[in-house]
Amino acid sequence: MPPQTQTQRRRRTGNNDDANEARRHRQSRRKNESDDSEASEEDQDGDGDGDGDVDMERTGDGTEDQLVKKLVRYALACEYGRIPIKRDGIRDKVLGSNARSFKRVFEGAQAQLQQVFGMEMVELPIKEKRTLKEKQKANARKAASQTSTSSRQYVLVSTLPPEYKSQSIIAPSRIPSTSEEAAYVGFYTMIVSLIVLNGGELSDTKLRRYLTRLNAGQNLPMDKTDNVLQKIVKQGYVDKVVERSDGDEDAVTWCIGSRGRVEVPPESIAAVITEVWGELPDDFHKKLHRSLGIQEPERANDESAIPEE
């Protein structure tokens, strides 16, 4: 082979080696830059350390604020349909992968609900075991394992001062209509009041007698009486307890539901009874407070109330 051709081939080979070396250098530099970028993103997302800590602490307040707003919307939507705000629902529909941030997000939502809407989430009491069969199951479950003392469900209640709890400020909902909503609230409040004043339980026969005297069949504008009773049972205002029997008719008893105990406290029942009673006897408030288990307000003695000169 001529010397000139060998020299040209060596030059081309050397140039190719230099080009390959430069290419490998550029690829290595790009890889290092990519690794640094990925490491930086992992640090920001909280996944780089692999220790499973809460991501919220590293994504900044923006993500937490969004979750707080999302929980507020979820709570309002549940309350609009009179559906309990379930703890599992908050984890699944609001928090998602940020389940460990439940406490901070819940407290933030409580603050917004109180400041903006004048409401707060209150935990519902555990549903009581009424029938003998339910009590036996509960005792067996308690003996087998430690039962939870939390219902893990919440409802919204007003935090407004008493002077702002007037009809002009807190008016009935306009859906389906103001009159129907007002009638519905008045109906379940009256049913809860009757059950409470009868010692916490009311037989079906006695309830039907009260409904006949109230002329509920004609005065309820939204639906038939049985359908409305079924609705307030479904929404937790009252519980319908049915004791099955072999030969005789089933015994039906009406009790206060978990939502009814929270939304219609004894103070509200006393206000309703006072409003519809008419002319009040002298010892009315004393008897009413004793029936409802409300502590009577302390009244100072007239003579002791007058300061000595």
Range of lowest pLDDT (58-72, 117-131, 168-182, 271-285): 58-72
pLDDT band at 42 (very low <50, low <70, confident <90, very high): very low
CATH 2.60.120.10 holds for 56-144+151-158: no
Per-residue pLDDT at 102? 94
User: How high does pLDDT run on average in the chain?
Assistant: 78
Same fold, 56-144+151-158 and 177-294: yes
Mean pLDDT (whole number) for 272-284 = 87
Quick: pLDDT tens for 173-227: 888 888 899 999 999 999 999 999 998 999 999 999 999 999 998 888 888 999 9
Tokens of 120: 């707060």
Mean pLDDT (whole number) for 40-66 = 50
Mean pLDDT (whole number) for 150-167 = 89
Per-residue pLDDT at 45? 39
CA distance 273 to 263: 16
CATH assignment, 177-294: 1.10.10.1210
Q: What ranges in 60-125 are assigned the alpha helix state H?
A: 61-80, 87-90, 102-112
Per-residue pLDDT at 245? 75
Q: Sort strands 201-203 and 119-123 into parallel, antiparallel or unpaired.
A: unpaired
Whether this prediction's pTM lies above 0.75 is answered by no
3-class DSSP state for residue 159? coil
Give the start-to-end residue ranges of the domains of the chain. 56-144+151-158, 177-294
3-class DSSP state for residue 239? strand
Please give the residue that has the higher pLDDT: either 50 or 242. 242
Per-residue pLDDT at 218? 87
Please give the residue that has the higher pLDDT: either 135 or 270. 270
Angle made by CA atoms 213, 215, 221, in degrees to the nearest 5: 155
**% of residues, the chain, pLDDT over 70:** 69
Range of lowest pLDDT (127-141, 173-187, 262-276): 127-141
Per-residue pLDDT at 151? 87
pLDDT band at 51 (very low <50, low <70, confident <90, very high): very low
CA distance 78 to 93: 12
